[in-house]
Amino acid sequence: MPRHTLVADIADPGATRVTIVGDEAKHAIRVKRVREGDTIRVLDGKGHAWQAGVLEARKSLVLELGERDVLPDVRPRLELATATPKGGRVDKMIDQLGQLGVAAWRPLNTQLGVVEPGANKLERLRRIADETVKQAVLPRPLRIEADLDLHAALEPASFDGPIVVADAMGKPYDPTGADHIRLLIGPEGGFTEQEYESMSGRGVRLMSLGTTVLRIETAAVAAASVMLDQERRAAG
Amino acid sequence: MPRHTLVADIADPGATRVTIVGDEAKHAIRVKRVREGDTIRVLDGKGHAWQAGVLEARKSLVLELGERDVLPDVRPRLELATATPKGGRVDKMIDQLGQLGVAAWRPLNTQLGVVEPGANKLERLRRIADETVKQAVLPRPLRIEADLDLHAALEPASFDGPIVVADAMGKPYDPTGADHIRLLIGPEGGFTEQEYESMSGRGVRLMSLGTTVLRIETAAVAAASVMLDQERRAAG
């Protein structure tokens, strides 16, 4: 494994030499003790990765880029809209979903939901998603998007692929073969009768995750794992 | 949903009235504000659940137990042995694995592993596993067991069911139909050549979880979710 991984904004994908400045350089040199002659890994968050030799590690980091690798995109693109777990639980959820290669997350507003993250919190979640790119060697970061009301999430104009809801009343997940899937997870108080009726009108699939009661973030990670596994299996 | 859930040591499963004292009673009355006339849920951590009417809520909690429910056991019994994530990450992992209905967890010692939790930490993890029983309405708590060396984990005398290892070189998980399965997850530095040879000698299955790099705790939750889902599906 390379000594360190960093994300750099590499405008020219054919570049052979880049200079990293600012916090990324400081962190690499002072905290990770990257030195001249080391080999590190560089990601651009746009699907590319390089092994890079360190030519200089003083105030800035001068790197010689090796051959460019193209990181495989995670298929299908899975977009989650979930009730927002409280406190630090949402941070951990974003990191875990990012590691799995989930494409996007946004807060889901429902009748019995309570927490709605503000703009500051969404910005913090974006920073967490960006950090996960390095650790999980992701082609691109999980996108954090604006909140969505359940009725809007179900409108065909909002999303034209299959919509799946994690729910104790559901069945095991069968693969859809679709390239773009939306997964909804409600609050710990559940959905109302009226909400179930709207879902049934839109033909959503209810997906069961066993007989125990899962917190939002565990349901999100478990459902995303099973869905990505099922779809990969079906795609061969 | 009931106003509160607590775990009580109910010696006689045919009991109709129980008195809860000590911390559980204090927490229910002072923090959760359980009052006379409320309905709460009682679990015994041995597979049973009751709705209970509160007859008295002063220093102790006197409950009238309704009909006894038998909570379904989670099948198969999945036992995890994993490298120990650092800091608070192991706490969160134990809570998440408990929610999924994993039967047991223990630290796995390998050549490139670094953190080994001491007796105090294992005791703290046991308390977390006990807490999860209430939130996830589990038939019984996740068992926290003593650490295990990889070579011991692979010995037929130690475990006679299928052994699965989460590994990037593996294939999607196929159900075994077994009632008792062991899952191993190595440290972030991976396994050594020698360790792969021992695994291959024992006929372990390597299970892939996609193309991204997962931290120990995310791999544990993702692998357990997929395995339980696959086995449930196969069992019909």
Specify the pLDDT at position A160. 87
Which of A72, A96, A210 has its CB closest to that of B74? A210
A30-57: average pLDDT: 95
**Which residues make Cβ contacts (< 8 Å) with residue B212, sequence separation at least 6?**
A74, A99, A100, A101, A136, A137, A138
Tokens of B129: 């596993």
**Which residues make Cβ contacts (< 8 Å) with residue B97, sequence separation at least 6?**
B80, B105, B142, B220, B221, B224
d(CA A232, CA B118): 39
**Which residues make Cβ contacts (< 8 Å) with residue A165, sequence separation at least 6?**
A183, A184, A185, A186, A199, A204, A205, A206, A207
d(CA B29, CA B106): 35
Q: Using a CB-CB distance cutoff of 8 angstroms, which residues of chain B are in contact with residue A232?
A: 172, 210
- Tell me the whole-structure pTM to 2 decimals: 0.93
Specify the pLDDT at position A2. 78
Best probe of the B interface among A78, A229, A231, by most B CBs < 10 A, is A229
Q: Using a CB-CB distance cutoff of 8 angstroms, which residues of chain B are in contact with residue A223?
A: 225
- Assembly ipTM: 0.93
pLDDT along chain B (236 residues), means of 10: 86 89 92 94 95 95 95 95 94 98 97 84 96 95 96 90 95 96 95 95 93 96 98 90
Size of interface A-B (CB pairs under 8 A): 101
Q: Among candidates B42, B45, B46, which has minimal Cα distance to B19?
A: B42
Which of A100, A136, A214 has its CB closest to that of B136? A214
**What pLDDT digit, counting tens, does each position of A47-61 carry?**
999 999 999 999 999
**Is A214 close to B100, i.e. CB distance below 8 A?**
yes
Residue A87 CA to chain centroid, in angstroms?
A: 19
**Contact by Cβ (8 Å): B104, B79:** yes
Helix, strand, or coil here: B48? strand
**Is B212 close to A1, i.e. CB distance below 8 A?**
no
A79, A190, B123, B141 from B120: Cα distances, Å: 40, 37, 5, 18
Specify the pLDDT at position B101. 98
Which of A137, A221, A225 has its CB closest to that of B213? A137
Helix, strand, or coil here: A30? helix
d(CA B48, CA B7): 10
Return phi, psi of residue B69, to 5°: -100, 145
Which of A135, A137, A221 has its CB closest to that of B222? A221
**Cα dihedral angle (B93, B99, B102, B105), rounded to 10 degrees?**
30
pLDDT at A115 over 70: no
